[in-house]
Amino acid sequence: MEASLKASEDRLTKILLAVAGLLFVGVIALGAYFLGRESAPASTAPASTSSAPVSTEFDYDVLNQIRSLLDRYYVKPDNLDDSSLFEAAVNGMLGILDDYGTFYMDPRTVRLDTTVSGAFEGIGVTISEQSGEIVIVAPIKGTPAEKAGLNTGDVIIAVDGEPTKGWKAEEAQLRIRGQRGTPVAITIRHPDNTQQVYNLTRATVEVPSVTTTPPSGALKDASGADVSDIGYVAISSFSVRTAQELEKAVKEQVDKGVKGLIVDLRYNGGGLRDTAISSTDLFLDSGLIVVQEDRDGTRTEFNAKRGDPTGGMPIVVVQNKYSASAAEIVAAALRDNGRAIIVGETSYGKGTVNQSERLANGGALFVSVAHWLTPLGVKIDHVGVLPDVEVQLSDEDIDLRRDAQLMRAVDELRKRTAK
């Protein structure tokens, strides 16, 4: 009995060791399983001890064999979920590249993503999952949800008659969104516990990427006093409409007679390179904005054109560790051209130009196709853009909801406008 058990354990140990090694070296090939190839039967021949050179050609069928062996022997068969194994294989492969800009986006995320287009089709609400319920954070202005009277704090308890209990926010978004012109019934529980069914028609919803309202609702200095002589614009992402939105917002601030401008890029994960360039160009009359270096070393320069609606007024850029990619292009270009100083934290450090390719399963692969350099020729990938004035939010700042970074930006602008 013991000999039989030990033989079984030895066999399982060898199999699992083989699986671990093959997954590390050839994780990319699990995709072959999902292309519908048949598995080759496991060989019963003893392992070869030959010193013959190992082939550099990877046999994708080996991953089919691994999957078959896992099905046959793995002690926790409930863990063998096809979707999870596939995504783990893809993400494992891309993770080895150590490149922020090359990544896989699953079909569900592709459907929900609005970073590039700045729009989606639905009813126009931002939602979150709170204590197991789907709660409306806010309706988007001018959308079917706002026009119908949905409000912050309303709870979505059903979509087309199906209860939302147990749903995550992503699932609720997928159920609520759909082709414009199609109907959807949303059952709402209001804060006073009354319930109402809203029969809405989906529409194209544009998501603004620029706002002139600070996070706290009003711009304040370090003493807590309201600030009216300094303008504020925040850019959440760089979509196809961002430059136009930004130009309009900046002109509104200038028309108010402000003496300086804060450009808030915190939590901006990036977006379109060309939009970042045109947004930066709004603040420059001349100068180099960014340099793109392709895989063969070829460099392409992007320069500013004349036209600055601010008239050259002082600018302070605010960034944090979540400011990335296109946001870093803007921050570095304005600083390197002497148009702005940067307040906050070192940015994320994603300095690559990416190309997206749709996949057969509805997902997408984003591939880094070039590096970009700041006007001073600095690569920031995995390094980030350093601030001129470092300000990190303390635990006390967070507890008191005190935006020390924005307050410091106000102080730095006042120093510059006083000169």
Domain boundaries in the chain? Answer: 2-41+59-96, 119-206, 210-417
Superfamily the domain 210-417 falls into: 2-enoyl-CoA Hydratase; Chain A, domain 1 (3.90.226.10)
The pLDDT of residue 419 is: 63
CATH architecture assignment, domain 119-206:
Roll (2.30)
The pLDDT of residue 5 is: 37
The pLDDT of residue 178 is: 87
Angle in degrees, CA 392, 397, 402, rounded to 5: 105
Dig out the tokens for 30 from the structure.
């699990």
The pLDDT of residue 302 is: 97
Which amino acids are annotated catalytic? 325, 336, 350
The pLDDT of residue 67 is: 82
Cα 417 to Cα 261, 266, 282, 317, 410, distances in angstroms: 10, 23, 20, 15, 10
The pLDDT of residue 406 is: 95
Helix (H) / strand (E) element for 155: namely strand 155-159
Q: What would the pLDDT profile of 150-179 be if each residue is shown by its tens digit? A: 998 899 999 999 999 888 887 888 889 888
Buried b (16+ CB within 10 A) or exposed e, 201-217: ebbebbbebbeeebeee
The pLDDT of residue 100 is: 77
The pLDDT of residue 57 is: 64
pTM over the 0.85 mark: no
The pLDDT of residue 115 is: 63
**Residue 16 DSSP SS3:** helix
The pLDDT of residue 117 is: 65
Residues of the chain short of pLDDT 50, as ranges, are 1-52
The pLDDT of residue 407 is: 94
